[in-house]
Every structure is written in C-alpha cells, then in structure tokens.
Amino acid sequence: MIDRDNTRQIVAGAAILGLFLALPLFGFGDYWIYILTIGFYYAIMASSWSLLVGYVGRISFAHMAMSGIGAYTSVVASGSFGLPLILSIPLAGLVTGIFGLAVGRLCLRLHGAYLGLTTIAFSEIVRITITAEHEVTRGSLGLAAVGLFETTDRVPYYYSFLALLVSSLLIMWLVLRSRIGLFFAAIREDEDAAASLGVKVVRWKIFAFTFSSIIAGIAGSFYAHFVQLVTPSMMSLQEMGFVLSMAVVGGFQNIFYAALGGVFLEILLEVLREIGEWRMTLFAVVVILILRYAPNGLFGELMRMALARRTRK
C-alpha cells in the first residue's frame, strides 16, 4: 500500500514538473513567466525553511537573512571585485554556509521560543548592519547586480530557477530519505532520547542549519542576479512572514508541499492584485486557520484525501 501511495506521489510530482516545463512553450506571457520565476525562488525558500521546522523541529526567523547574505555576497563579489558569476554564486553558498554553521552552533542549546527570539535578533542585526554600512552596500538604496544572462528574455531565467528548485528539492529529498532524515525525526521527537540512542544530536542540528542556509544563500544570489537589485528589505521580517505563510499554507511538514505553497501563494498574490493590501490580510487568516485546523497544509490535506479515497475503494 505504502509503495503504491509513493508511486502516486511521484506521478503527481512528475505531472506538475512536466506542466511547469511546458508552460513557456504555450506562449505564456512574459509577465506570468516573471511571476512564476519569482514563485520558484519563494518555493526554494519555503521548502528549505520547512526542512528546519517540519523535519528537525527547529524554528528559524533568520532564513531570509541567509538569503540576503547570499545575495549581497554574490553581488559585491561580482560587482566590486569583478568575480564571474560562476564563482560568486558558489562563494555566496559558502559564506551563508559559514553563517548557518555559526548560528547553528550558537543556538545549539536553544529551542522553541528562545530559538525564535535569537534568530529574529540575528536577522535584524544582519539587516541593520547592511543598511548602516552604506559605503559598501549603499544602504537602503540597494546595489545594482549584473544579470545571470546577457539577454532580457525571461525564459532562460525561468528554466534556470526551475532547475535550481528541482535540484534543491532533489538534494533535500535524498538527504531526508537517508539515515540523516531519521536522525532529524529523532531529534524533533525527543532530543534526549535520540542522544541516548547514539544519534549525534549536536552534529546533525548544526548540519541542518548549515544545509538549509546554503540553499537559502544560493537561492538569494540567483534572485539578486534575476531582479538585478538587492536591497535590505529582502530580509525584512515581513518577507519572512510571507515565506512562513507559504510553507504553512502548502504544508510545512513536507518540503514538496511547502514548495508548492510558495508557487501557489505567489500566483495568488498576482491574481488577487485588485484587492490590494487585503491580500496579505486574507493570507494571514488562512495561515491561522490552517495552523489551527489543518496542520498538514492545503496540499497535505488534498493528498491525504486523495489517498484516503483510494484506500476506501
């Protein structure tokens, strides 16, 4: 039974991937290609955030700060030091990895609300520092960035973001289905019990922070070279709230549902443009309702219903 469920999930995933691959071929407008590309960025952020929260049980409000660190690293390295993007983007991953390692190491003893507070503080310190050091970063004006490609055509960006999304989901999935995924679950359920059974709790908690930070940093640098501007506002707590909403609405206990939530909410944000600021109000109500009554998220519940119906037959 479990195997058949798995097959169905893989088929559903392949169908969605095929749909996204084919979309630009159907003469989809430039505008929607742009929106979907941004949606893929948020999908990477939401899924790598849900890796921490949903699988390891560690909340972090510093995820957008990590993305910002990656973006600024790559933009400064390529702009001020003339590094080619093929080097500056991995450098961004490396730098955010180091930050993730440091934050993970510092926060080892913390959990729950204490961890939330520390990561909020870290995130704000990064944002304030980048805003204040205006000789390097031009403060809140932001820095111009070179594009990933020479052309202004949106389609190459679309496919490279899709490729980044698919590969990061694939890497996360491979890690989660290995022994490491079991270690994560053990830490989430009971850290002390996990340690007593020989799980290297310290190592895997730090690994989780570093791993999700690297993904966020690389996504952030891609984003910067797509919109060709980085500003400190990309690491504001409002942005963090947006990513949290995406992960929760999609289903933060599963990286794929969280990623779908990212694309879904970004599309919804555009479709509902007419109602203006009421959009975020509406999303927040949905987030609260989902957290309270359907913690598996929209896609988690849909999949559960689909599977349940099949089982009944």
Partner 1 sequence: MSLVAFSEQVINGLIIGIFYALTALGLSIIFGVLKIVNFAHGELYMLGGYVYYVFASILGLPPIAAVLVVCAVLFLIGMAIEHLLIDPVHRGKVERADEYTIMITFGLAILLQNLMLSIFGPWTKRPEAIFRGRIEIGELIVSGDRLAAAGAGLVLIGFILYLLRYTWTGKAMRAVSQDRETAEIVGVNAKLTGMLAFGLGSALAGAAGALIGPVFLVYPTMGVIPVIKAYVIVVLGGLGSVPGAILGAMILAQVENLATVLIPDTTRALAYKDAYGLVLLVLVLVFRPQGLFGEKVRKS
The interface mask with partner 1, positions 12-51, x = CB under 8 A, is: ----------------------------------------
Phi-psi region of 55 (alpha: psi -120 to 50; beta: other; left: phi over 0): alpha
246 scored as a contact of partner 1 (CB under 8 A) = no
How far is the C-alpha of 146 from the C-alpha of 249, rounded, in Å? 34
**Which residue in the set 277, 308, 312, 313 belongs to the binding site for partner 1 (CB under 8 A)?**
277
- Which residue(s) pair with 143 in the sheet? 230
DSSP characters over 138-178: -GGG-EE---SSSS--SHHHHHHHHHHHHHHHHHHHHHHHS
How far is the C-alpha of 288 from the C-alpha of 291, rounded, in Å? 5
* Angle, CA of 52, 42 and 25, to the nearest 5°: 135
**Which residue in the set 47, 88, 221, 245 belongs to the binding site for partner 1 (CB under 8 A)?**
245
How far is the C-alpha of 252 from the C-alpha of 268, rounded, in Å? 18
117 scored as a contact of partner 1 (CB under 8 A) = yes
Q: Which range in 3-11, 203-211, 220-228, 280-288 contacts partner 1 by CB under 8 A? A: 280-288
**Which residue in the set 31, 114, 167, 196 belongs to the binding site for partner 1 (CB under 8 A)?**
114
| Residues 169-188 interacting with partner 1 (rule: CB under 8 A) | none
**Which residue in the set 31, 285, 305, 310 belongs to the binding site for partner 1 (CB under 8 A)?**
285
The nearer residue to partner 1, 131 or 160, going by C-beta atoms, is 131
In the chain, where do the E strands start and end? 143-144, 229-230
Summarize as ranges the residues that interact with partner 1 (CB under 8 A). Answer: 53, 57, 59, 106-107, 109-114, 116-118, 120-122, 124-125, 128-129, 131-132, 192, 237-238, 241, 244-245, 248, 276-278, 280-281, 283-285, 287-288, 291-292, 295
